[in-house]
Structure 1
Amino acid sequence: MSVAITVRDWMEQYFDIRDLVRIPPDAIAPGVTDAATREFLSGVGLPEIDMSPFVPDEQFSTGMRTLAELCPEELRGLPARCGEWLLLGHFMDIPYALDGTTGTVHAIGRGCRTADSVTRPAHRDLLSLAHALRAVRQHLGFLEDQEFAVWPDDIDAVLDALIADLTQVEPDCMTHPAGIWPPLIEDIRAM
C-alpha cells in the first residue's frame, strides 16, 4: 500500500497550517490564468512567518496587485508584459513577482535591472518557490529567532547542505543573474 502525500500536506509538515496564507478562489487576480498556479494559491498557499526571509505582500491574501499599479518607475526599460506580473511578496527585500499566465516567479531588484535577468524566472513555479522556502526553514530555521539562535558548529556544512537542497529543485539557482541565493549565503557566512 502506498500513501500519496499532497503538496499541501508536505507544506504543513514544515510550516504550521496557520502560517500558510491562501487566497480564496474568488479573490485571485484575473491575471492568474495558469490553472496549477490558481490551485496552489487557493489550496496550498505561501508561508508567512516572523523572521522568515520571505514576506508575502500585505494584499496577498485579498488579491495581488500588478507591478504596473505598484511601481511603474521600476519597470522602465523592461518588457511591457512585466507590468502585468503580480507582486507575491519580498524575499530578502527583493520583490518577487508572479507571471500569472505561466506560473513563473521572477525576482525584481538587486542586480536585476536588465530585461534578460528579470524575464528569466528565479523559480519555474510556486512549487519551486515553496521548496526553496522549505529548504531555508529546514537548514536555517535556527535563524528565525535571532535573539536566541544557537549556531551550528559547522555553518559551512549547513550552507553546503542548503545549496545541495536548492540545486536539486532549481539547478541554476546559484548562477542565476537575478538569484538571491548567492548573496543570502554570503550574508550568512559573514554573520
Structure 2
Amino acid sequence: MSGAFAERLDGAWEIEPEPSAPLPRCPLSVGQGIGLDNLWVLAGAGGLFAVVCGADGEDDGTAWHAAPLLEPHARLAAPEPPAEALAAAGGGSGARAWLEEAFGAGACRRRAAGDLPDGITHAGTRDFLVEVGLPSLEGLLQLQTHGGLKPLPEDGTDGQPSGVRYELGHWMYAPLALDGATGQVLRLPRDTAPEPAAGSLAQFFAMVRLFDAYRRGFHPSRADRRDAQQVLAAWCRRIDPTVDESDTWDAVLGGHPFEDGTWELVTKDGRPPL
C-alpha cells in the first residue's frame, strides 16, 4: 500500500505520487491531505477529517456554488456565566476574593465609610468601596486605576453638566470616571460625549476579570478562540447590557489586538508561551 501526499500551493493542488482515488473537491480552508487507496485524510484551518471516495469518482466536477445552499442551522450555545462572576457583579460578599484571584492579593483597596467623598451618594457604590475595595490595576486592557477617587470638575470634560464625578484612572487612552450619584462608570473621551463603561463598579470589574480569564485561556485553533470570544461577549452582556452602548467594549469583545501588556501571556495564535 502506497500513499499520495497533497498540498495546496498558490491555490492549486500538488499531488505526489499519482493517487489511487482522485482528491475530492475541497474548500480553500483545506490545504493538505494524505491518500490511501480510496481514503483521503484532509486537514486545514477547520481541523482534521477523512473522506471515503467512490470507486468511480472523477477528478473534476461542477464548480462550487457561490453561496451556501442552506442557511446556518447551528450556533454556539454559550454556557451560563460562572456563578462567582454573577455574584461579584452584584456586589456579593465573595467579590473581593474572586477579583483578587486574578488581580493579585491586596489589589482591591478598601476605604472606610467615613473616608469616602461626600459626593458618592449611591448606596451600592459605597458598599462596594467599603467591602470589596477599588482594584488597583496597571496594563491589563490598557486600564490603569490608581486606587484613588480624584474629584473632576462638575462641568465634565465635554462641557456639559455631569453631576459629581470622580476619576478612577484611565481606560483606552481616556479618563475613566465614577458618577457618584448613580454609580455608573464612564469613559470620557476628549472630543466626544461620555461613553458608558458599566452600570456599576462591581459590573465593570467583573467583566475585566472575565476578560483576564479569557486572555489566559488555551485556544488550540482560530475557531476555538472565536468561540471563546463569543462566550465572553455573551457573559458580559448578561452581566451588563451597557456593553452594547460602548465602542470600547465592542473592541474588547471583538478580538481587538491590544498593543499593551494585555496579550503578553499569549502568542498571536492564542497559545500560552512555552
TM-score using structure 2 length? 0.51
Q: 1:123 aligns with which of 194, 198, 222?
A: 198
Alignment-derived partner of residue 74 in structure 1: 157
Alignment-derived partner of residue 113 in structure 1: 192
For the Cα contact (< 8 Å) 2:198–2:242, is it kept in 1? no
| CA offsets 1:90-119 (integer angstroms, 9 cap, x no match) | 222232211111111112117x723xxx2x
Q: What amino acid maps onto 1:170 in structure 2?
A: D
Q: Unaligned stretches of 5+ in structure 1? A: 143-149
Q: After superposition, where does 1:70-149 map in structure 2 within 5 Å?
A: 74-76=157-159, 78=160, 80-82=161-163, 84-109=164-189, 113-114=192-193, 118=194, 121-141=196-216
**Aligned CA distance change for structure 1 residues 12 and 73 (closer, same or farther; 3 Å):** closer
Secondary structure of 1:122's counterpart equals: strand
Q: What amino acid maps onto 2:232 in structure 1?
A: L
1:35 aligns with 2:130: no
For the Cα contact (< 8 Å) 2:109–2:133, is it kept in 1? yes
Greater Rg over alpha carbons, structure: 2
**In 2, Cα distance between equivalents of 1:73 and 1:38:** 22
Alignment-derived partner of residue 114 in structure 2: 26
**Aligned CA distance change for structure 1 residues 135 and 35 (closer, same or farther; 3 Å):** same
| CA offsets 1:145-165 (integer angstroms, 9 cap, x no match) | xxxxx8753332232222122
**In 1, Cα distance between equivalents of 2:206 and 2:111:** 19
**Aligned CA distance change for structure 1 residues 8 and 109 (closer, same or farther; 3 Å):** same
Q: How many residues align?
A: 165
**Aligned CA distance change for structure 1 residues 93 and 27 (closer, same or farther; 3 Å):** farther
| Structure with more of its chain in strand, by fraction | 2
For the Cα contact (< 8 Å) 2:166–2:178, is it kept in 1? yes
Alignment-derived partner of residue 170 in structure 1: 240
Alignment-derived partner of residue 86 in structure 2: none
**In 2, Cα distance between equivalents of 1:93 and 1:189:** 12
Q: 2:144 aligns with which of 48, 52, 55?
A: 55
| Structure with more of its chain in helix, by fraction | 1
**In 1, Cα distance between equivalents of 2:162 and 2:248:** 22
Q: Unaligned stretches of 5+ in structure 2? A: 1-91, 260-267, 269-274
**Aligned CA distance change for structure 1 residues 5 and 26 (closer, same or farther; 3 Å):** closer
| CA offsets 1:46-102 (integer angstroms, 9 cap, x no match) | 33344312211x3x34xx122218xx68232x2x124x2111122222322111111
**In 2, Cα distance between equivalents of 1:5 and 1:180:** 29
Q: What amino acid maps onto 1:171 in structure 2?
A: P
